[in-house]
């Protein structure tokens, strides 16, 4: 009886919420835009590492399936599907694919907006798997490059990211819990902090300089930090679509699962088509 009453209550509450709210199916924009310096966000673009024969190709998207607006609150539910790919540059315009990571999942969010600030929370439930590709195999030595053979890397996790935004500065904290992860030696908790600031130029309405920073603390034997900094300009709408051109600094654990225990440090030029 209690279960039946609960179902009836949820149905009636949902009906009232929809009746009193502005509902949009498959809206054009995201309720909560991606965090600029966090590499685990949907991106469409490429990254060229300075002084190295490495680049990364990002192909991904997040879409909100529904927005429910009620006074100054907007609720959203959507999905994430993207890849980030490690490539090498070779002569004759060849780019062998070394490794690729896949992410897919669902997300939900709430954003509260008033005249002074915005704040909110994003929730994600996601799966990541990583794989070596044929470009990691050396045909001349007939072996895997660097002696690194393919290994299983997979993780399923929930992520909670509260944020606060004022005067084009957005600050966020994040916690991820890996409820299933292979290899087992990877820690189950990831802590994160970051922010981004956009600036307006006089007499120019569609070019916005910005700086962003992200710090991840993850455990492999012991906790260590991964730092990511991006400085550049966004052309378009600072809160919606456009193109970003930036210089990146990265130091910490590799973003690619097959290299999860490999430390990287580099500067790079990156171009991204923003959602």
Q: What is the pLDDT of residues 172-207, one digit of tens each?
A: 999 999 999 999 999 999 999 999 999 999 888 899
Judge whether 20 lies within some domain: no
Q: What is the largest CA-CA distance in the chain?
A: 71
Please give the residue range of the domain that contains residue 126. 25-274
Judge whether 32 lies within some domain: yes
Judge whether 52 lies within some domain: yes
- The tens digit of pLDDT for each residue in 46-104 reads 999 998 888 999 999 999 999 999 989 999 999 999 999 999 877 777 789 999 999 99
| 18-45: average pLDDT | 89
Q: Which CATH number goes with the domain that contains 34? A: 2.40.230.10
Report CA-CA distances (Å) from 272 to 46, 48, 144, 184, 265. 7, 12, 31, 34, 21
Judge whether 36 lies within some domain: yes
Give the torsion through C-alpha atoms of 3, 8, 11, 17, to 10 deg: -120
* pTM, entire model: 0.88
pLDDT at position 20: 58
- Round the CA-based radius of gyration of the chain to a whole number and report it: 21
Q: What is the DSSP letter of 136?
A: G
Judge whether 110 lies within some domain: yes
* Tokens representing residue 163 in the block: 């944020």
* Number of domain units in the chain: 1
Residues 148 and 191: beta-carbon distance below 8 Å = no
Judge whether 18 lies within some domain: no
Judge whether 14 lies within some domain: no
Judge whether 16 lies within some domain: no
């Amino acid at each position: 009886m209690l279960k039946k009453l609960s179902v009836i209550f949820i149905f009636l509450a949902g009906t009232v919420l929809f009746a009193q709210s502005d509902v949009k199916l498959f809206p054009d924009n995201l309720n909560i835009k991606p965090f600029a310096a966090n590499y685990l966000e949907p991106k469409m673009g490429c990254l060229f590492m300075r002084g190295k024969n490495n680049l990364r190709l990002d192909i991904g998207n997040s879409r909100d399936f529904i927005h429910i607006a009620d006074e100054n609150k907007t609720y959203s539910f959507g999905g994430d599907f993207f890849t980030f790919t490690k490539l090498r540059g070779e002569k004759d315009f060849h780019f062998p694919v070394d490794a690729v990571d896949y992410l897919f999942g669902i997300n939900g969010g709430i954003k509260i907006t008033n005249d002074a600030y915005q704040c909110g929370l994003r929730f994600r439930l996601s799966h990541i798997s990583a794989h070596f590709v044929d470009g990691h195999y050396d045909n001349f030595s007939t072996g895997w490059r660097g002696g690194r053979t393919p290994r299983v890397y997979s993780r399923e996790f929930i992520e909670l990211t509260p944020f606060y935004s004022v005067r084009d500065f957005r600050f966020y904290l994040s916690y991820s819990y890996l409820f299933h992860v292979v290899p087992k030696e990877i820690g189950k908790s990831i802590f994160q902090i970051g922010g981004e600031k956009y600036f307006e130029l006089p007499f120019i309405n569609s070019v916005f300089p910005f700086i962003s920073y992200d710090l991840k603390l993850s455990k492999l034997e012991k906790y260590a930090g991964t730092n990511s900094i991006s400085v550049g300009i966004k052309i378009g709408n600072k809160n919606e679509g456009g193109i970003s051109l930036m210089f990146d600094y990265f130091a910490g654990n590799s973003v690619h699962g097959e290299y999860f225990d490999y430390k990287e440090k580099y500067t790079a030029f990156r171009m991204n088509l923003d959602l």
